[in-house]
Amino acid sequence: MANKEEIIAKAKEAITDFDDELAEEVANEALVAGVDPVELIEKGFTAGMEEVGEKFGQGELFLPHVLAAAEAMNAGIKVITPEMEKRKSQIKSLGTVAIGTIEGDIHSIGKDIVASMLNIAGFKVVDLGRDVPIKTFVEKVKELKPQIIASSALMTTTMVNQIQIEEQLKEAGVRDQVKTMVGGAPVTQDWADKIGADIYGETANDAVAKIKATLSV
């Protein structure tokens, strides 16, 4: 039987080769071999996704490749989700995070990875989807009372809408009831500081670590 390192390497390869079947196969293999599903996702699937993202950024791969890689990752994650759910029912939820890609932006890869990682880390994640109107972010804060509301923007033209989330939460009188997180390729710590967001998530792992740190205070 393949050892843990081989299984994780194969999981990464499934993503970089855009291979749904291999992703499913390796996820099943990992469950049988007792590989920690969190490790499989972080070091295998997510690492593969990040590599695809870098190549996309450098112009070596194109959007269809990124979408195909995301599909492969989703196929793998679907296989291990029942195991994740089983574990999660044994531990207390760390809090609720509502996350969405901002209005005008249809990119969802980064958001999907962050949502998956938060889920795995033990948070209750409410995925608002992509091209989410600003008013929906505000409504969800009132309705769900999450600890964190997170918005992702993949274009400089849509990232300006993140200012609106801050403004409209203030207007609705609920800004002090929630922590805001921003992320996405053009977003920086400076931008987060400028608009008054509480957290800047540079990568999926960074986002999870910062949310954990913010909520444990």
Q: Are residues 59 and 128 in the same domain?
A: no
Q: Output the six-digit token pair for 14.
A: 């499934």
Encode 154-175: b = buried (16+ Cβ within 10 Å), e = exposed.
Answer: beeebbebbbbbbebbeeeeeb
Taking only the tens place, the pLDDT of each residue in 116-128 is: 888 878 888 999 9
Do 190 and 140 belong together in one domain? yes
Residue type (1 letter), 190:
D
Whether the pLDDT of residue 130 is over 90: the answer is yes
Cα of 58 vs its chain's centroid, Å: 22
Q: What is the pLDDT of residues 70-111, one digit of tens each?
A: 889 889 988 988 887 777 666 677 899 999 999 999 888 788
CATH of residue 49's domain is: 1.10.1240.10
- Among 16-30, 112-126, 178-192, 200-214, the minimum mean pLDDT is found in 112-126
What mean pLDDT is predicted for residues 62-68? 85
6-11 contacts, C-beta under 8 A, 24 or more apart: 7/33, 7/35, 7/40, 7/44, 8/35, 8/39, 8/40, 8/43, 8/44, 9/44, 10/44, 11/40, 11/43, 11/44, 11/45, 11/48, 11/76
How many domains is the chain built from?
2
Q: Are residue 63 and residue 112 in the same domain, yes or no?
A: no
pTM above 0.75, yes or no: no
pLDDT digits (tens, 9 = 90+) for 160-189: 999 999 999 999 999 999 999 999 989 999
Predicted pLDDT at 53: 79
Find the domain containing 16 and state its range.
Answer: 4-88
Q: Which of 71, 88, 105 is the last residue of a domain?
A: 88
Last residue of a domain, one of 36, 64, 88: 88
Closest CA to 148 of 117, 118, 187: 118
The full length of the chain comes to: 217
Residue with structure tokens 């793998």? 76
For residues 109 and 207, membership in a common domain is answered with yes
Whether residues 112 and 186 fall in one domain = yes
